[in-house]
Structure 1
Amino acid sequence: MDSPGTREPLRIGVLGCASIAERRMLPSMLRQPRVRVTAVASRDAAKAASFAARFGGDPVVGYERLLERPDVDAVYIPLPPGMHAEWTLRSLAAGKHVLCEKPFATTLAEAREAVSLARERGLLLMESFMFLHHAQHAEVARLVADGAIGDLRLFSSEFGIPRPAGDAGDTGPRYASTLPEVAAYPLRAASLFLGDGLRVLGAQVRTEGEDGFRVAGTALLTAPSGVAAQLAYGLDHGYRSGYTLWGSEGHLTLERAFSTPDDHAPVVRIERRRRTEEIRLAPDSHFTNIAGAFARTVLDGAGYEPHAEAILRHAELVDAVDTAASRS
């Protein structure tokens, strides 16, 4: 394999034919001129062939075979969370850069092992928090910095998704692996607006079924500045996907903050005393943007460390929340 930063477009292999890859990431990669899908792997030959026919590249049966290909510079991993660390480690060992869906790892130890290997091999490891690449959040940050709500006092965020119709009462393994993915969004958003050094004051988790599958949770955190964060997330809720920043002079709310369609025109709502202002923003494609950011970082051969540090910070925060919830 050639050294980083010498080939364009970036040749990407896809490990798994998950729904998120089919619906969002692969169509977005097709819109990125610096990215080319060269192989799609599945354990099902027909599924691999179907994806390859739609999105390009060669169909490959088996993830190991894709990692052996010399025409793959990097891999995108949309596998279930429990498989992320294993296939990230295998991909890095094979000399491939990695863009992995969140949550990147199920434990802090897994995150540390993968980051250590990426650093050792000089490879990019990026967690696919696509929402961070949507322009709406930068605009919210600018408004807050410019004093739109005065001094920030509280950040609150909720992300909840209803169970599919007919699944009421289902507490199977897919829900056990999905809650950490849902929880990751409000946690990462709190870090985005409050910065590093968040401390967990308390957390709670709700379980269902004889096996105690986790279906909902809440967390209370505080930043070094003293600003608090109240977070809620779950899999048995009416849909919510947003956050509010509450300041000394008003509050700012953004809905559809995390699962934002490409054609959605975000509305930032600011309420101050008796006046309400709604600021409509232009649509943006965060999946297309993160695919471009990943390719640009690899092709430029620089800027890997901030992504490694972000993975570790988030894994540490998740670990602290889990520890607090286990004590409640």
Structure 2
Amino acid sequence: MPAPLRLGLLGCGDIAARRTLPALARVPGAALAAVAARDPARAAAFAARFGGEPAASYEELLARPDVEAVYLCLPTMLHAPWAERALEAGKHVLVEKPLATNGADARRLFALAARRGLVLLENFMFLHHATQRTVAGLLGSGVLGTVRAVSAAFTIPPRPDGDTRYDPALGGGALLDNGVYPLRAALRLLGTDLTVAGAVLRHDERRGVDLSGSALLAAPDGATAQVRWGMEHHYRSWYEVQGSAGTLSVEHVYTTAPDHSPVVLLRTGTETRELRVPAEDHFEAVLTFFATAVTSPDHPGLPLLDTESRRQADLLDEVRRAAGRKGPLAM
């Protein structure tokens, strides 16, 4: 049995503590080797809790020969710069979404990963859940007929004052925090040739970030996607696919709890069916995928994920332009 992938944690964020590192402990193909945080004491506390050795700095972690790959869990505006440094250091990279805030950075990072022969994976867990495989199977079967439209939403209630989502210097705002999910779902469901036909961003001038938005996306064949996002709403995590012969929809699709068994609601003609998907931890699923991809450079799932990530970053630029807003600075 091959040795597990030796992973370094770059940034001790909340999502790492609550979900990613507990899941990592259950993945036989990967193990935590080292931990680094801006505060060395926080890194030491994480290492004591989850394993691995604390590193004095991000740079020290990247210099460690026993670290083969990094899981990058930093504020959004730091994703692209530190992903670049990790790739330059010869490390495979699993990075929290979004990888980049603009298309130019995403293209440069994937080109760098290709030159170095490294895996660069943007951490959209929902794409690795069994729900997505079930939906892909239904679409491939033709049960919906020709797909005509997608609707998708990811909205959350307001966050407490001081939340990093309200800090523009850290890459705050609803588009980068939760808007990327319905955008990514649309790319997966309608293909990567989508363009932005129109967009709206509701901006908080006091905080300097967008609080909500929506976009109309168009595919070359005339299919459309209507997507919306925000952090001033009732919670919604959902998408729907409408075809010429049927419609399917899924709730709690982006943040599926590990003990939740999702239901794909399928309507064809006058019949409605509920297709229940077995519960699984999509954090475990993406970590397993990443570890497998590192040991299998020709993994068949990587090209589509890479293409989607690049196109998703381009769509962020297009949404801002369509909404009349300037985007975040490149790294």
TM-score, normalised on structure 2? 0.90
Candidates 90, 113, 116, aligned match of 1:118: 113
Structure 1 residue 264 displacement after superposition: 0.5
Query: 1:88 and 1:224 mapped to 2: Cα distance?
Result: 33
The yes-or-no answer on 1:32 pairing with 2:27 is: yes
AA partner of residue 93 (structure 1): E
Query: 1:290 and 1:310 mapped to 2: Cα distance?
Result: 16
Q: 2:129 maps to what in 1?
A: 134
Residues 66, 272 of structure 1: alpha-carbon distance in 2 compared, 3 angstrom cutoff: same
Matches within 5 A, 1:93-172: 93-164=88-159, 171-172=166-167
Query: 1:80 and 1:68 mapped to 2: Cα distance?
Result: 22
Residues 13, 178 of structure 1: alpha-carbon distance in 2 compared, 3 angstrom cutoff: farther
Query: 1:33 and 1:260 mapped to 2: Cα distance?
Result: 22
Structure 1 residue 318 displacement after superposition: 2.1
AA partner of residue 231 (structure 1): V
Structure 1 residue 16 displacement after superposition: 0.6
Q: Pairwise CA RMSD of aligned residues?
A: 2.3
Query: 2:147 and 2:153 mapped to 1: Cα distance?
Result: 18
Candidates 186, 189, 194, aligned match of 1:190: 186
Conserved? CA contact 2:76–2:172, under 8 Å: no
The yes-or-no answer on 1:318 pairing with 2:316 is: yes
- List runs of 5+ in structure 2 lacking aligned partners: 327-331
Matched residue count: 322
Query: 1:167 and 1:45 mapped to 2: Cα distance?
Result: 23
Q: 2:329 maps to what in 1?
A: none
Query: 1:320 and 1:256 mapped to 2: Cα distance?
Result: 27
Structure 1 residue 268 displacement after superposition: 1.1
Structure 1 residue 165 displacement after superposition: 5.6
Query: 2:132 and 2:296 mapped to 1: Cα distance?
Result: 25
Question: 1:196-244: CA deviations, max 9, x gaps?
Answer: 2112111110011335420111010111222110000001111000101
Q: 2:260 maps to what in 1?
A: 264
Query: 1:171 and 1:83 mapped to 2: Cα distance?
Result: 16
Query: 1:308 and 1:147 mapped to 2: Cα distance?
Result: 26
- List runs of 5+ in structure 1 lacking aligned partners: 1-5
Query: What's the secondary structure of 2:324's corresponding residue?
Result: helix
Query: What's the secondary structure of 2:232's corresponding residue?
Result: coil
Conserved? CA contact 2:199–2:322, under 8 Å: yes
Q: 2:223 maps to what in 1?
A: 227
Query: 2:325 and 2:36 mapped to 1: Cα distance?
Result: 41
Conserved? CA contact 1:135–1:284, under 8 Å: yes
The yes-or-no answer on 1:15 pairing with 2:10 is: yes
Structure 1 residue 247 displacement after superposition: 2.2
Structure 1 residue 91 displacement after superposition: 0.7
Candidates 243, 252, 255, aligned match of 2:248: 252
Residues 65, 166 of structure 1: alpha-carbon distance in 2 compared, 3 angstrom cutoff: closer
Query: What's the secondary structure of 1:61's corresponding residue?
Result: coil
Residues 40, 154 of structure 1: alpha-carbon distance in 2 compared, 3 angstrom cutoff: same
Residues 82, 226 of structure 1: alpha-carbon distance in 2 compared, 3 angstrom cutoff: same
AA partner of residue 241 (structure 1): S
Conserved? CA contact 1:175–1:214, under 8 Å: no
Larger mean Cα displacement after TM superposition, 133-142 or 176-185: 176-185
Query: 2:222 and 2:296 mapped to 1: Cα distance?
Result: 38
